[in-house]
Amino acid sequence: MLIKHTSRDIEKHKGDMLVYCVYQQDKKVPVCDNKYVQDTVRLAFKAGDFVGKEGETLLFYPTAKAKIQAKRILVVGLGKKEEAKKENGMTSADLWRENYRKAGGRGSTTALRTKAAKIMTVMPEPFILDFRETAECLTEGLLLGAYQFRKYKKTVEEDEPQSRINEIQLYSLKEKGAVNNGLSAGKAAAMAGTAARDMANEPGNVWTPTRFAEHGRKLAKTYSLSCKILSKSDMKRLKMGGILGVNSGSDQPPKMVILEYKTSARNPTLLMVGKGLTFDSGGISLKPPKGMDEMKFDMCGGAAVLGAMQAVGEEQPKGINVVGIVPATENLPGPSALKPGDIITIYGGKTVEVLNTDAEGRLILADALAYGIKQYKPKAVVDLATLTGAVVIGLGHHRTGLLSNDDDLAQQVTEAGNRSGEPVWRLPLGPEYSKQIKSKVADIKNIGSRAAGTITAAAFLQEFVGDTAWAHLDIAGTAYNFTEKSYIPNKGPSGIGVRTLLELIRNWKQE
């Protein structure tokens, strides 16, 4: 899809849709700088059909009298032009970033519904944000809202969108340099997010651990990153009992994909680790059949890490080194599968009593965390995983669970989530939770009691990070079936985590 800035005459745009964004006024008609559009908005306002509320839309078709060549005109409401109160830690800037993002998404979803392939969006006069940030967020919304995964669909129902958006133009006469910079940043973030969605949408018989490795090599070649793939024999040599144990029921060989972006040894290193369970049956502790098809999404943490590395390769940030690790395997109940009661040894020597083979994500993450911290000595580490059903019970599909051993890192991650429209909610950690995973026959066990399941899963991971600043994001409730937004469908993968990681990297604060 082509997206570009333009300052060509709006009236000469011969595309399928022209999109305007307007602010809601107190009991007054929303203002648009195009007279024809303004007259139509006034008529809709008088009829009580459109006042410019956030997310409200007005679609109409220009007559020859309008001297507008676009086939359709869409007006999207932005809400009241006022500074919002701080909401759950989100600033007015965070909330307006999301408003512009959702406006872009509304433009694209309407374009898909009406089969508009070529659209132009007119930049509104920014409020709270500057031109760069406004363009960035509009672009994110436009591109993420245009996402479709139709690779395997050979027939299309009549009520389904049958077209795709081929071209998006972002129109502005002011601050052209800032708008272009914002467009580039928004495009990098959105395309990384859609790449993660693509990975997650692939079925488990296609997106295997080997495909994760192939994609890692492709990213490395495209963006001049360093790529290292640990094979099963490497894992045996390194004594990575977590990923080897989980993999033992599958005939697909495990892979550990490692991508490295290096600037200078003097700069801090951020390590990102993403769970790459390409299909999770639960192993011997088999999951119920209903909903098991969604377990192809159990690799969304790994997809988020590779998506973020794509954006890092695109933007080449200064002052920071970034390493992404994805431990990838299936979890199946084959004849050699891990059994409840088995004891395994994680990289570094710590032993684990496996009481439930469906608590497998923490086992492969433990190897990756321990190995990554030892090899790359990061200043901080963030892991992402669709780890526990308990986080869905606690937070629903609205917020990602955050647990951390470092308040400063937790704050940075929270701020990154707020800026990207991917909110997190911090849960506690402490010795009282770590007690729940102590084992009588090994160093620790892989599950605690049913109580505080998300926290005890994080307490397990904490055993393998030592004193390194660490944050864990449990995305089980947000990686797919996330709260619906105009630019994120509530069915299928959301791409959550990619833009949070990217915002963290872009705004990294050195202690």
Asked whether the beta carbons of 230 and 238 are under 8 A apart, the reply is yes
CA distance 424 to 162: 35
Give the pair of three-digit tokens for residue 272: 């990102």
CA distance 79 to 257: 44
Number of neighbours of residue 33 by Cβ within 10 angstroms: 12
Number of neighbours of residue 264 by Cβ within 10 angstroms: 9
CA distance 357 to 350: 18
CA distance 344 to 327: 17
The answer for residues whose C-beta is within 8 angstroms of residue 150's C-beta and 6 or more apart is none
Residues designated as active site: 287, 362
Nearest to 277 by CA among 384, 361, 352, 215: 361
Give the pair of three-digit tokens for residue 87: 């909401």
C-alpha gyration radius of the chain: 24
CA dist 115 → 164, 191, 495 (Å): 7, 21, 24
Number of neighbours of residue 394 by Cβ within 10 angstroms: 18
Q: How many CA atoms lie within 13 A of 354 on its CB side?
A: 27
CA distance 209 to 229: 11
The answer for residues whose C-beta is within 8 angstroms of residue 212's C-beta and 6 or more apart is 255, 257, 276, 278, 299, 302, 306, 326, 328
